[in-house]
A = this chain, B = another copy of it.
Amino acid sequence: MTRAAVIPAPRAPVEVRAYRDPEPEPGAVVLRTLASEVCGTDVHLWHGRLAGVPYPLIPGHVSVGEVMETGGEVRDIEDNPVRPGDAVTFLDVHGTCYNCWYCLVAKASTRCPHRRVYGITYGADEGLLGGWSERIYLKPGVQIVPLGANVTPEMWIAGGCGLPTAVHAIERAEIRLGDRVLIQGAGPVGLNACALALASGAGWVGVVDAVPHRLEAARAMGADACLPLDANLPGAVRAITGGRGADIVIEASGSPDAVPQGCAVARDGGRYVIVGQYTDNGLVEINPHTDINRKHLEIRGCWGSDLSHVWRAMEIMARFHSRFPWTSLISRRYRLEEAGDALSDVEARRVVKAVIQP
């Protein structure tokens, strides 16, 4: 039998349940789970705040596992065969149709209406389709990425879903060597964006957050400046940028109030990537003339990630494993029985990064 941590229903306590061991159909893969992420989305799932989620649910959308068995030959994204014993991760999004207008014409597969997500929109009744489980069942077509050289399971989970999301944001940011980059928010996405902006050759990377220990993490990631969220922010940014403002601003805080502030600290003709607003936190006032039009500002919304971001995240972690202290972001490891504690700790912000190790 396979044991898994399950959210039986919204707001119900997390339980450990036992399921029959899965056997792979052709094209499928069974993983023995090595580590799985606990992220803020899991707290939302626990409270039932997301629509379209089937309970009971095995959470865990970013996971690393060791291949136990494959249903015939299965190939990873580099077209190499997947073999028992390989340590791999996979894209949590599955079922992208590649047959609809968004997939094929707009080439925006993150907008495909057919996509399902491991640990979020696949329920426990459909199989071992979440990472808080001793085993994970990769259905045929799940896109598999082997861990790169020097990338440990813990390091990958420490990067978590924030890393591919930050890769997506950084691609849209189009940083040039020497650019001054301001990042709003020092959570998982913001910290990864900080690392990636540094890795991209930014001339200066500042991170702004209201919580001191989150700014400490930004400092550990290498931020040039860790700025408190107060009224002096625009002046502080202008002082470092020749009076002009940041070339690039990346919103990773999730607070609507961050948006007019981000417009204000970007320089004329600058670029503003908004990646953090992935839940609806309400309205905010902006002035279209001064915030956007007169300053020629370019604002780029960015949501979700696809396989390309995961693949590139792996390349980046393999390249920069010794430069950025991803693993140190992990505050605590939890067994399956402790999954409820993990959710409580994440919710209370007692931990930076929590990991389930079944």
Interface residues of A (CB under 8 A from B): 75, 77-79, 96, 98-102, 104-108, 110-111, 141, 143, 167, 170-171, 174, 176-178, 196, 199-201, 203, 242, 244, 251, 256, 259, 267-269, 274-290, 292-303, 306-308, 311-312, 315-316, 318-320
Contacts and interface: CB of A to CB of B under 8 A. Distances in A.
A77 B106 contact: no
B106 A269 contact: yes
A19 B294 CA distance: 35
A199 B175 CA distance: 12
B311 A143 contact: no
A105 B308 contact: yes
A279 to B, nearest CB: 6
Given A275-B293, A298-B298, A302-B293, A308 B177 contact: no
- Copies of chain A in the complex: 4
B295 A301 contact: yes
A141 B99 contact: yes
Contacts of A102: 268-269
B289 A108 contact: no
A298 B296 contact: no
Contacts of A281: 288-289
Nearest to A111: B268
Given A106-B269, A176-B171, A315-B178, A299 B298 contact: yes
A177 B301 contact: no
B199 A312 contact: no
A286 to B, nearest CB: 6
A290 B335 CA distance: 37
Nearest to A174: B174
